[in-house]
Structure 1
Amino acid sequence: MESMTLRASSSTAAPLHRLPSRRAAVSVRASSGASEPDLSVRVNGLKMPNPFVIGSGPPGTNYTVMKRAFDEGWGAVIAKTVSLDAEKVINVTPRYARLRADPNGATKSPIIGWQNIELISDRPLETMLNEFKQLKKEYPDRILIGSIMEEYNKAAWHELIERVEESGVDALEINFSCPHGMPERKMGAAVGQDCDLLEEVCGWINEKATVPVWAKMTPNITDITQPARVSLKSGCEGVSAINTIMSVMGINLKTLRPEPCVEGYSTPGGYSARAVHPIALAKVMQIARMMKEEFSDGQSLSAIGGVETGNDAAEFILLGADTVQVCTGVMMHGYGLVKKLCSELQDFMRQHNFSSVEDFRGSSLPYFTTHTDLVHRQQEAIKQRKAIRKGLASDKDWTGDGFIKETESMVSN
């Protein structure tokens, strides 16, 4: 596992003051009927018609695909990560590899794992910003979030934030979590895995940003609550979790070369899709518990990891997530997936008579405890069951209606 350092005083650091506009409300028309469960959510002042958000990556890589996402009904779109100098970003092909449920890799077998070695946006920043402006002009009531990542340079971060905010985005997601690509430039997970560095960079970001800021967490770390805590204490309004898991997808046993194979070689990449869902649930649960115990100022949690069904999303929301991001799922199933997600989430809500997402958000979180507590709870339950089997404690406890059962409870076989 990667190492991570913590400044001793980080847990007591005072959060930075937020600028008033960071919580300004942005509305969107709700389309669901009054009789249907209401999927709309309000997160850091941003109103979305549903909690489903396009996660940063290929599904938000240009105007055409982001427009398609809005047209299909996604609650929000997070664009692919941008930086000041796109010329340094050079992608390779192939850059994806898939793991199928069939151990023999049959082509019709369901995909359960997906790996990518893709970098952030390789398109000029000005091009992306112009497309952000066009999207906000055409969809003024929809939520567009800019994902940004920059080198270890305060001036560069400030310039990037200023330029992206000028394009009209409603919020920023900070990529502290990309597991591959340019760690030598202190970008992505190189920041998210070092809490001293993270605290400093978050300070730079939050002294400049005027819209809500979400810090995107890497799972490639021992304790994900530590960088999440540092990000929130440093002024971020929310955290997103998780980004992809560092992985090697496999070795081609015919060629003896790793996959995905580029000119005979490969590099570790980020793992996503259904196989990571249980890991993401655990990480989100840990962050949600920490946030509930230590923060009470409306900080938000956006959950990511293997979402392909409404039930997948319900699990994240039950753990305390405000929104649910989907990236690989869109790459496999298309932008129309959001309709299925909304329908299935509403089906779940009907089953439990929930009228809104807030009715059940975090409902499962109290049921997590320690193993020691589980032992104590089970011992107490066994003790109570034995007491019931032992029968009546006194003659005064006999009843007429339950006489036969009360007699049986004291029969020894």
Structure 2
Amino acid sequence: MESLMTLSARASPSPLQQQRRLPGRQRATPVRATATGEPDLSVRVNGLQMPNPFVIGSGPPGTNYTVMKRAFDEGWGAVIAKTVSLDAEKVINVTPRYAKLRAEPNGAAMGRIIGWQNIELISDRPLETMLNEFKKLKKEYPDRILIGSIMEEYNKAAWHELIERVEGSGVDALEINFSCPHGMPERKMGAAVGQDCDLLEEVCGWINEKATVPVWAKMTPNITDITQPARIALKSGCEGVSAINTIMSVMGINLKTLRPEPCVEGYSTPGGYSARAVHPIALAKVMQIARMMKEEFADGQSLSAIGGVETGNDVAEFILLGADTVQVCTGVMIHGYPLVKKLCAELQDFMREHNFSSIEEFRGASLPYFTTHTDLVHRQQEAIKQRKAIKKGLQSDKDWTGDGFVKETESMVSN
């Protein structure tokens, strides 16, 4: 097995992978404006055409036909359904399973929600039920993008069966949940795979051997260096990565009952943290992945950013770092499906402000401005030298004066 130290080579998909997959993202000439003169929000990612880059992230907002239909009707660019596996009977949720962190002291009941924790598992609905709903959605919305999120135990045959059945429902792509931080790792699923690079490489091999639609690998932030699993997923044939999933957390302690939250029969368990408070962490992880992809991979792989998106400015930040699409899950749970209209309007406001007519015009524009601290020190030292050089002595013959002639001459003598 290839070591992590030798994974810097550019990705080279096998002839089989090149033959079986949809075309990669094409760098088309940017559309100058839509028919109405508004900035164009449409994107094409891994051969998938979307009216905008806003994607429903896997979770409760994509848990059944009714809510996914609502997402399409409201105008979301794509929907990633809640994660499914072969045996839903093993998935047993508890309640309450959410907890909120507000911008006030512990115990405050009102105020803006800045953090959200969940201990929710993947879909507890029978796989066949979910597949039938996928088929119904694709029949009603043939031009909209539906992505199946899948997760299985460490079993090649199970992965292959799940992929075959989900692809058979007509989904346009697959997102592989290598990142769920709670519940499923107890069955060697989710983050248990995403945190083990050797295991990840093996499972990605199984998946890409079977899949015939684009595959995105969803990355866990609960790891020291997120670029290591992202690199392996891409080298193993995945067309894209999604990041980040939720951050392992303990939301807090109820200071009246002295019990942790969310509280189930007096007890709790660490869960996944999301919402506004994780946005800066997500930006850092996305930046790291985007820079690695730019340096080590040929154009064509995609990056779907996730983490604390509630405004068009949040979206703009992710795209400026190199994201192709931006996923929203908790934001929909807080603000509802109409949030997409606000995101579209605010992103277009940003684009108008900077005279951008298409997403591609500014995607990755901020990425080159990240460097090392050592380089920052060097740059600042050079800037200080330049400023001193500019101020030293006379700048032009017109600056000479009779009264200060001697001092002016001295000011230009090299020490």
Residues 168, 13 of structure 1: CA spacing in aligned structure 2 closer, same or farther, 3 A cutoff?
closer
After TM superposition, list the pairs within 5 Å mapping 1:356-395 onto structure 2: 356-392=358-394, 395=397
Tell me by how many angstroms 1:393 deviates. 6.4
* CA–CA separation in structure 2 for the residues paired with 1:254 and 1:169: 48
Contact 1:2 1:221 in 2 (8 A): no
| Residue of structure 1 in register with 2:236 after alignment | 234
Partner of 1:5: 6
Q: Deviations over 1:190-218 (max 9, x none)?
A: 00000100000000000100000000000
Displacement of 1:21 in angstroms is 10
| 8 Å Cα contact 1:203/1:234 also seen in 2 | yes
Give the drift of 1:405.
16
Give the total of aligned pairs. Answer: 412
SS at match of 1:47: strand
CA contact (8 A) 1:16 1:234 kept: no
Q: Please report how far the alpha carbon of residue 254 of structure 1 lies from its aligned counterpart in structure 2 after TM superposition.
A: 1.1
Call closer, same or farther: CA 1:26–1:405 in 2, change over 3 Å.
closer
Distance 1:159 1:282 in 2: 36
Percent identity for Structure 1 against Structure 2: 91
Matches of 1:402 and 1:324, distance apart in 2: 63
- Counterpart-to-counterpart distance in 1, 2:164 and 2:62: 20
Cα distance in structure 2, aligned partners of 1:2 and 1:183:
25
Structure 1 residues 17 and 24, CA gap change in structure 2 (3 angstroms):
farther
Tell me, yes or no, if the aligned pair for 2:31 and 2:40 is still in contact at 8 Å.
no
- 1:123 & 1:28 partners in 2: Cα distance? 42
Q: Aligned partners of 1:401 and 1:41: how far apart in 2? A: 67
Is the Cα contact below 8 Å between 2:25 and 2:44 reproduced in 1?
Answer: no
Alpha-carbon offset, residue 27 of structure 1: 17
CA distance in 1, matches of 2:266, 2:200: 36
Q: Give the 3-state SS of the residue equivalent to 2:17 in structure 1.
A: coil
Q: 1:211 to 1:181 in 2, by over 3 A?
A: same
Aligned to 1:282: 284
Quote the residue 1:132 is aligned against: 134
Q: Secondary structure at the match of 1:10?
A: coil
Deviation at 1:182, TM superposition (A): 2.1
CA drift of 1:166 comes to 0.5
Q: 1:388 to 1:173 in 2, by over 3 A?
A: same
Alpha-carbon contact 1:89-1:119 (below 8 Å) kept:
yes
Equivalent-residue separation in structure 1 for 2:339 and 2:358 (angstroms): 21
Normalising by the residue count of structure 1, what TM-score does the alignment of the two structures yield? Answer: 0.90
Do the aligned partners of residues 22 and 312 (structure 1) sit closer, same or farther apart at CA in structure 2, a change above 3 Å counting?
closer
SS of the residue corresponding to residue 199 of structure 1 reads: helix
TM-score by length of 2: 0.90
- Inter-CA distance 386–171: structure 2 relative to 1 (3 Å threshold): same
Kept after mapping to 1: 8 A contact 2:32/2:357: no
User: What is the rounded CA distance, in whole Å, between the counterparts of 1:309 and 1:135 in structure 2?
Assistant: 28
1:5 and 1:153 map into 2 onto residues whose CA distance is 27
Match of 2:154 in 1: 152
SS of the equivalent of 2:245 reads coil
Alpha-carbon spacing, 1:282–1:84, altered in 2? closer, same or farther (3 Å) = same
The aligned runs of 1:13-92 (5 Å cut-off) are 18=21, 34-92=36-94
Where structure 2 has 5 or more consecutive residues not aligned to the other structure, the ranges are: none
Q: Give the Cα–Cα distance (whole angstroms) in 1 for the partners of residues 284 and 129 of structure 2.
A: 38
Q: Partners in 2 of 1:344 and 1:248 — Cα distance?
A: 33
Secondary structure of 2:176's match? strand
Report how far residue 409 of structure 1 moved: 9.8
User: CA shift at 1:184, angstroms?
Assistant: 3.0
- 1:12/1:206 Cα in 2 relative to 1: closer, same or farther (>3 Å)? closer
Alpha-carbon offset, residue 22 of structure 1:
11
The answer as to 2:259 corresponding to 1:260 is no
Shift of 1:236: 0.1
Distance (Å, rounded) in 2 between the aligned partners of 1:227 and 1:77: 24
CA contact (8 A) 2:33 2:357 kept: no
Question: Deviations along 1:222-276, whole A, 9 cap, x unmatched?
Answer: 0000000000000000000000000000011111110000000000000000000
Deviation of residue 186 (structure 1)? 1.3
Moved more, 102-111 or 8-17: 8-17
1:12–1:404: structure 2 CA closer, same or farther, 3 Å change rule?
farther
Q: CA, structure 1 residues 402+42, in 2 after alignment: closer, same or farther (shift >3 Å)?
A: farther
CA contact (8 A) 1:74 1:338 kept: yes
**Structure 1 residue 391, shift from structure 2 partner:** 2.6
- Secondary structure of the residue aligned to 1:23 is coil
Deviation at 1:5, TM superposition (A): 14
Change (3 A) 1:208 1:157: same
Contact kept, 8 Å, 2:20 with 2:212, in 1: the verdict is no
CA-CA distance at 1:183 after TM superposition: 1.5
Q: What secondary structure sits across from 2:114 in the alignment?
A: strand
3-12 or 372-381, larger mean C-alpha shift: 3-12
* Change in CA separation of 1:180 and 1:383 when aligned onto 2, cut-off 3 Å: same
CA distance in 2: counterparts of 1:409 and 1:119, whole angstroms: 73
Q: Structure 1 unaligned runs (5+)?
A: none
Contact 1:54 1:76 in 2 (8 A): yes
Q: Give 3-state SS (helix, strand or coil) of 1:177's partner.
A: coil
Deviates more, 1:154-163 or 1:385-394: 385-394
Q: Closer, same or farther in 2 for the Cα pair 1:210/1:13, shift >3 Å?
A: closer
Judged with a 3 Å threshold, the aligned counterparts in structure 2 of structure 1 residues 289 and 281 are, in CA distance, closer, same or farther, namely same
8 Å CA contact 1:389–1:409 kept in 2: the answer is no
Cα offset for 1:106? 2.9
- Secondary structure in structure 1 of the residue aligned to 2:68: helix
Corresponding residue SS for 1:16: helix
Contact 1:59 1:327 in 2 (8 A): yes
State the SS of the aligned residue for 2:100.
strand
